[in-house]
Structure formats: C-alpha cells, structure tokens
A and B are shown apart, each in its own frame.
Chain A
Amino acid sequence: MQPPVITLAECSKRFGERLALRKATLMVAAGETVVVLGPNGAGKSTLLRLVAGLLRPTAGSARIGDVEAIAAPKEVRAGLAYAGHQPQLYRGLTARENIDLHLRLHQATADTGALLERVGLADRADERIDGFSRGMLQRLALARATAHDPVLLLLDEPASGLDADGRALLDATLRAGIGSRTQLVASHDHDLAERLGVRAIQLANGGLA
C-alpha cells in the first residue's frame, strides 16, 4: 500500500482566541481526490493552508509525504500547487507574463499559449489582468496552478466567480487529475464529489465530522 501524500494528525490551528481547526485527522493517498465540504468559517481554507505549508499548526502535524508541510523542501514544493481565495497573480502583468513567471520560478516548461487557450483566455493573453473579471482571474489562477503539472493540487473554492463554462472547465481539470495526482478541493458544491466519483469529507466548526 502506498504511503499517504497528505497526513493530518490531530492537527489544530488557533488564531488568537479563535480555534479555526480542531484536531483534524485526515489521510489522502497518492492519486486520490478528496472534496472538503463545509459552510463558511468551518475551517476549509485553514486546512488547505496547513497542508500547503503556509500555516504552522498550533498542535498536531500536517505532513506532505514524510516531511512537515511547513518545512517542505524545494523538491516537495516543486510538485505542489495551491490556489486560494486570492488569484496569486501580479495585477500589473499580463496573463501570459503571469504564467511565464510561474513557469520560470518552477523551472518548468509548458506552452503558455496552449494553457491560456485551455482556460478560454487566449484572446486576452497579452492584456494586463487588472482589468479582468473575477471569473477570468479564477480561470487564470487555475491555469497557473496546473501549469507546472503538479503532483499535489490544493484548490480552495475554485468555482467561486466561475460561469457555467468555467465550472465545466474546472470539473474537466479535476477529472483529468483523478488517479494521476493527489487533489484536495475545498468547496461549497455538495454535488462535486458525486459528479467526480470521489471521496468527500465534511468540516463543521473547525472539526472533521
């Protein structure tokens, strides 16, 4: 049996007085896709940021493979992609420049034009993104997150702001990754796991139900 790619062990995160995540325990196997469901404030974003290594657990541990996520070395980060609430894109750069920058920092090569074509932004490739709508930014964020072909993809409410075509694109991207990469997706969409045929977990009040 393959060791889990993501392991949360009694993982808690406190922000001041507020306990955002309470003793969460979760294992996600290589190639598995898991949808994290829960209302606003349930702790979904905190869980994903802990797995990404952007937050340090207050108690317990969050691991990617056999390393603590917070101390993940470059080799682990090279295979990781995280798209959060914010698009993580430079507003003053064009769509193409943002993708090229991401590829350069990841020392990866990909056809930027084809990536933008896939998310329906080929005709806006050379426009600065500060004029983009929320949905366009979300599409571009999805293209950025998958540009370097990560083995671990973390998406935090990736459907927000997307139109019907955008949501279909998102479903297709996730479906294409099933089995070949590990995917953890925080979502309000209760049907997503069923549509993809994958496991869903429920977060409520900072704890896994």
Chain B
Amino acid sequence: MIGAALTIARVKFVLEIRRREVIFAMLLFLAATIVIVRVALSGDTGAGTRAAAGMLWAAVVFTAVLGLLRTFAAEHEGGVIDALLLAPIDRASIWLGTALAQFGFLTAIELVAVPVWWALFFQGGGPSVGTVVIALLLANVGIALVGTLSAALALGARTRDVLLPVLVLPLLLPVVLGGVTATYGAFGEEVGGLRPLGFLALYDLVFLALAWGTSEHLLGD
C-alpha cells in the first residue's frame, strides 16, 4: 500500500514540476496575502504580534484550499481516476498518495512564504522558530489529510469547486485554533505550553484513522 501511495505521490510531483499549475498559484496567493496584510496593518504597531500570528494561519488555510481545488484535477482529466480505481491496489493508497503530495506542496510553499512573513512582521525578535515550524508541519499533515478526504467526497459532484471549500473550511477550524495558539505560545505567552502542538497531533491522528477507514468507500461509486 505504501509503495502504491508513493508511486501516486511521485506522479503528482512530476506533473506539478512540469505544469506548475498548483504550487505557483498557491505561492503567489500566500505571499500576496502576507504583504497586503502587512501593508494594511502598517499604522497599527500595537496589534502586530497577535495579528501576524492570526493572519499567517488564516492565509495558510485559504492557500491550502486553493491547492485542494486541484487535488484530483489530473485524475479527473482524461478519466485517470477510473484506471486508479481498477488497479489492484488499496483504494486508501490513492488517497494517501494524494495527501502526501498535498503535504509536500504546502510545505514547499511555506518554505518560501514563511520567511517573508517573518521578515515583514518581526524585524527584531519574533516567535520561537522551532515551535512555529513544528506547528506548521503538524498543520500541513492535518490539512492534507482532511483536504484530500474532502476532495474525494466532492469528486463526483458537478459543483465540487463550490462544495469543497464549504466542506473543508469548517473541518480546518481546529487547525487554525491549534496553530494560532501554538504561535502565541511561541512568543513566550502562557497559552498552554506544548498543548496546542499535542492538539494538532491528535487532530492529525483522528483524521488519519477516519480517512483510512473511509477512503475505500469514498473513492468508489
């Protein structure tokens, strides 16, 4: 199963490198959001820290949704999904491979955009790098798992482009909550220590189990 998932993830990366359909748009969106919010908040020095943490997580989630809209686009195009469904592999591996690719895309974008966020908002000091990085990685796992599951649910719907954000945004609310709380904590504020990271890890485990158990049926008829 892992082998098939890695094969599918590899194909998604190859397609993205060749076509640049998802990562480039997501990167531009995330970077533009960070810059626009920085400009919008330029007169308000007092709200900087909390606003910066909140805007990062909101921007990450909306950027992820932008990418998730293209989750199964390559498989939908040309009917590839039929070939994958009929291949003698666990159907969960189609979901897992796609989630791995989503995780990779989001992480790659953050590698570029988060340093920009840092440079624009925290010229001196800033939150603990380690905590923010761990929170982002845990959040990326959750977003990829939940997003791919939701995309699979919306796959057969004619209105999937509208349906997907409606499905996925409420499910990602805990990610925003955990991420923002972890980032506040990374400034040294007493907001629960490592508990937000534990919350994000628990979220990932719950949705990993849920998606694993349901993907066989979700990706069928």
B163 within 8 A of A: no
**Residues of chain B with a CB closer than 8 A to A101's CB:** 7, 11
**Residues of chain A with a CB closer than 8 A to B220's CB:** 56, 70
A53-B86, A101-B11, A102-B83 known; A86 vs B221 contact (CB < 8 Å): no
A92 x B79 contact (CB < 8 A): no
In the assembled complex, the Cα of A74 lies from the Cα of B84 at a distance in Å of 12
A54 x B82 contact (CB < 8 A): yes
What is the minimal beta-carbon distance from B81 to any residue of chain A, in angstroms?
Answer: 8
A54 x B77 contact (CB < 8 A): no
Set B14, B78, B84, B85: member contacting A86, Cβ < 8 A: B78
In the assembled complex, the Cα of A55 lies from the Cα of B221 at a distance in Å of 5
B120 within 8 A of A: no
B 1-24 to A, binary, CB cutoff 8 A, 1 in contact else 0:
000100100010011001100000
A4 within 8 A of B: no
Q: Which chain A residue shows the least CB distance to B83?
A: A88
**Residues of chain A with a CB closer than 8 A to B82's CB:** 52, 54, 82, 84, 86, 88
- Interface segment among A104-112, A160-168, A179-187, A189-197: the answer is A104-112
B15 x A107 contact (CB < 8 A): no
Set A75, A85, A97, A104: member contacting B79, Cβ < 8 A: A85
A 73-96 to B, binary, CB cutoff 8 A, 1 in contact else 0:
011011011101111111111000
The size bracket of the interface on B is 20 to 34
B80 within 8 A of A: yes
What is the minimal beta-carbon distance from A70 to any residue of chain B, in angstroms?
Answer: 6
**Residues of chain B with a CB closer than 8 A to A107's CB:** 88
What is the minimal beta-carbon distance from A11 to any residue of chain B, in angstroms?
Answer: 14
A93 x B14 contact (CB < 8 A): yes
In the assembled complex, the Cα of A88 lies from the Cα of B7 at a distance in Å of 17
In the assembled complex, the Cα of A166 lies from the Cα of B8 at a distance in Å of 30
**Residues of chain B with a CB closer than 8 A to A81's CB:** 86
**Residues of chain A with a CB closer than 8 A to B77's CB:** 91
A128 within 8 A of B: yes
**Residues of chain B with a CB closer than 8 A to A78's CB:** 88
**Residues of chain B with a CB closer than 8 A to A56's CB:** 220-221
B108 within 8 A of A: no
Q: Which chain A residue shows the least CB distance to B220?
A: A70
**Residues of chain A with a CB closer than 8 A to B205's CB:** none
A87 x B79 contact (CB < 8 A): yes
B87 within 8 A of A: yes
A75 x B88 contact (CB < 8 A): yes
In the assembled complex, the Cα of A54 lies from the Cα of B210 at a distance in Å of 23
In the assembled complex, the Cα of A128 lies from the Cα of B11 at a distance in Å of 13
B35 within 8 A of A: no
**Residues of chain A with a CB closer than 8 A to B84's CB:** 105
**Residues of chain A with a CB closer than 8 A to B85's CB:** 54
**A70, A74, A90 — most chain B CB neighbours (10 Å):** A90
B89 within 8 A of A: yes
Instruction: Give B64-120 interface residues, CB cut-off 8 Å to A.
Output: 74, 77-80, 82-90
B87 x A90 contact (CB < 8 A): no
B80 x A54 contact (CB < 8 A): no
For the complex of A and B, 7 pairs with smallest distance between CB atoms: A86-B79, A78-B88, A88-B83, A74-B88, A105-B87, A92-B15, A56-B221
Q: Would you list 28 pairs from A and B whose C-beta atoms are within 8 A, ordered by A residue?
A: A56-B220, A56-B221, A70-B220, A70-B221, A74-B88, A75-B88, A77-B87, A80-B86, A82-B82, A84-B79, A84-B82, A85-B79, A86-B78, A86-B79, A87-B78, A88-B79, A88-B82, A89-B78, A89-B80, A90-B78, A91-B77, A91-B78, A92-B19, A93-B15, A97-B14, A101-B11, A102-B87, A105-B4
